[in-house]
Amino acid sequence: MSITRNEIKILKTLKTTKGRKKENRYIAEGVRLLEESLRFDHLPKMILIDQSQIDDRMENLLSTMQKKSIRIEKISSKDIEAVADTKSPQGIIGIFEKRELKTSELSLRKPRKILWCENISDPGNVGTLLRSALAFDFEMIFVSGSTADIFSPKVVRSAMGAIFKLKIVKDTESEIFKLIKTQNYSLLAADVLGKPIRVTGRKYSTKRIVLAIGSEAIGLTDIIKQKADEKIRIEHEKEIESLNASVAGSILMNEFYKMEKGPK
Amino acid sequence: MSITRNEIKILKTLKTTKGRKKENRYIAEGVRLLEESLRFDHLPKMILIDQSQIDDRMENLLSTMQKKSIRIEKISSKDIEAVADTKSPQGIIGIFEKRELKTSELSLRKPRKILWCENISDPGNVGTLLRSALAFDFEMIFVSGSTADIFSPKVVRSAMGAIFKLKIVKDTESEIFKLIKTQNYSLLAADVLGKPIRVTGRKYSTKRIVLAIGSEAIGLTDIIKQKADEKIRIEHEKEIESLNASVAGSILMNEFYKMEKGPK
């Protein structure tokens, strides 16, 4: 099988939100991310390689991918660079199918802990939150508002493979509220005026929770704060107004994770 | 007083590491950062403004700065853009003096908790760590190796004003080790193979500590891990190899902060 110029032309559009939307695919660059996709058994539809850059590690990866019947195409260094988002791509790019559900498409089984990203515009922050979510056992992510596209190359990179494992649910706020209500989740809103997690967190250590984190600049919108069962905050010195959004979300997820595991 | 073309030419170099080194100054852009500099009483040497962008908030800020005899210079929009690092500067830039000490220059009084950034190359991560350090009462920062320049515009921006308050100490690892030893600090190294902070952290709740965080890609170097009194880690699911460096550092600082404050 060989790749056509037209196919390459289409793949070049996957760097853009528009291209990803139209094609329902996204790119993940580099050996490490592709190894992660194997580990999570979330395989690419196709792999593009620059033959001049193949080393032992890549060789191993490609041989495993071949056994799984993944389509592998050799293309020129110039084309690799044009498809890639990074300035110096490592000579290997995976093309993946976007998996993003509406709340109505969710199966019966739902995880106990869900992270909700509302209006988190920085792709690095979103990727970091996904990485922490997987680390602290938040298996599902709600995405709403102006949150950076989960499948953009920068989010995929900073999520370090978490994207291949987490369930991504993108929907309107009202549909998300509906799900929260019918499925008996408690909605916990990260807010600088909330109760300290230390004081109020333990109440939720066995309940179904949705933890909502808002934008870097202004936090969560009023509608989420109003609908929340509880507003929670991280205690810190007054000298700084707030923590970085991905740090705040990660600390809160870590707290809920520790409560679940209990003191040992 | 009026600014010369030659001065503007020099200020344009402050975006680069070389320029900042030569001039011993750095830039902080935007009304908010300059308000923070007032709050922390760390005043700029000079303020550059684009008169076409002045609003009420900026007017207030400038009037306070004027009372404090800060030099304020009106320059053209084009010059503001050339001095600024961001694409759309807000029309106001502060020029600050770099305050970075060697270990030998430190005064007698030293804080109980210090953060050590070793080889943290991403400016966003460094800035985020500084912001968290101030939030969790780590008043001093050790900087070594290839850590991003603390005074680069991107670090200054993501630190959200913390740069104006924290004491920054940049030195070689061996000088830092010397200080740690003579001043009776315990060196705690963040390491994925360390003991859980939950298990071992409380031992250090009243001791002087230096918490070391290493590079995004490979963590701390062996020399720091070997010299450490203890290696500590954050417990998380095995599915992810490690957390983002700024998240890991922030979670650990938060743990030490909580221990100090004690349960309420």
Nearest neighbour of B134 by CB, restricted to A132, A162, A239: A239
CA dihedral A146, A157, A98, A112 (to 10 degrees): -70
Residue A92 shares a structural domain with residue A134: no
Task: Spell out which chain A residues touch chain B, with contact meaning CB-CB distance below 8 angstroms.
Answer: 40, 124, 128, 131-132, 134-137, 158, 160-162, 165, 198-199, 234-237, 239-241, 243-244, 246-247, 250-251, 254, 257-258, 261, 263-264
Model pLDDT, residue B106: 87
Residue B93 shares a structural domain with residue B110: no
pTM for this structure?
0.95
Q: Which residues in chain B have Cβ-Cβ distances shorter than 8 Å to A234?
A: 254
Model pLDDT, residue B262: 67
Model pLDDT, residue A1: 57
Contact B128 A244 (CB under 8 A): yes
Three-state secondary-structure class, residue A67: helix
pLDDT tens figures, A101-159: 999 988 878 899 999 999 999 999 999 999 999 999 999 999 999 999 999 999 999 99
Residue A142 shares a structural domain with residue A220: yes
Residue B219 shares a structural domain with residue B183: yes
Cα A255 to Cα A260: distance, rounded to the nearest angstrom? 9
Whether the pLDDT of residue B263 is over 70: the answer is: no
Average pLDDT, chain A: 94
CATH code for the domain of B170:
3.40.1280.10
Q: Is the ipTM of this complex over 0.85?
A: yes
Closest CA to B151 of B263, B10, B45, B18: B18
Q: Please give the average per-residue pLDDT across B118-147, as a whole number.
A: 97
Nearest neighbour of B240 by CB, restricted to A135, A247, A254: A135
Residue B89 shares a structural domain with residue B155: no
Q: Residue B25's beta-bridge partner residues?
A: B97
Tell me if A208 sits within 8 A of A186, measured CB to CB: yes
Whether the pLDDT of residue A262 is over 70: the answer is: no
For residue B40, give the amino acid letter.
Answer: F
pLDDT tens figures, A181-202: 999 999 999 999 999 998 888 8
Q: Please give the average per-residue pLDDT across A163-181, as a whole number.
A: 96
Residue A183 shares a structural domain with residue A212: yes
Question: Percentage of chain A with pLDDT > 90?
Answer: 89
Domain boundary residue, one of B48, B74, B97: B97
Residue B189 shares a structural domain with residue B256: yes
Degrees (nearest 5) of the Cα angle B19, B21, B27?
60
Whether the pLDDT of residue B1 is over 80: the answer is: no
Residue B33 shares a structural domain with residue B117: no
Q: Which residues in chain A have Cβ-Cβ distances shorter than 8 Å to B135?
A: 236-237, 239-240, 243
pLDDT tens figures, B144-187: 999 999 999 999 999 999 999 999 999 999 999 999 999 999 99
Q: Which residues in chain B have Cβ-Cβ distances shorter than 8 Å to A162?
A: 240
DSSP string, B170-231: E--HHHHHHHHHHTTPEEEEEEEEEEEHHHHGGGGSSS-EEEEE-BTTTBS-HHHHHH-SEE
Q: Residue A144's beta-bridge partner residues?
A: A118
Expressed as residue numbers, the domain containing B125 is 103-261
Residue B132 shares a structural domain with residue B256: yes
Tell me the two tokens of residue A231. Answer: 């507003």
CATH code for the domain of B88:
3.30.1330.30
Model pLDDT, residue B264: 45
Q: Please give the average per-residue pLDDT across B216-241, as a whole number.
A: 95
Residue B119 shares a structural domain with residue B247: yes
> What is the number of structural domains in chain B?
2
Average pLDDT, chain B: 94
Question: Percentage of chain B with pLDDT > 90?
Answer: 89
Contact A254 B251 (CB under 8 A): yes
Domain boundary residue, one of A97, A128, A152: A97
Model pLDDT, residue A151: 97
Residue B54 shares a structural domain with residue B113: no
Residue B130 shares a structural domain with residue B255: yes
Q: Give the burial class of B199: count Cβ atoms within 10 A of its Cβ; 0-12 exposed, 13-18 middle, 19 or more buried.
A: middle
Domain boundary residue, one of B45, B69, B97: B97
Q: Please give the average per-residue pLDDT across A159-187, as a whole number.
A: 96
Banded pLDDT at B127 (limits 50, 70, 90):
very high
Model pLDDT, residue A264: 45
Model pLDDT, residue A119: 97
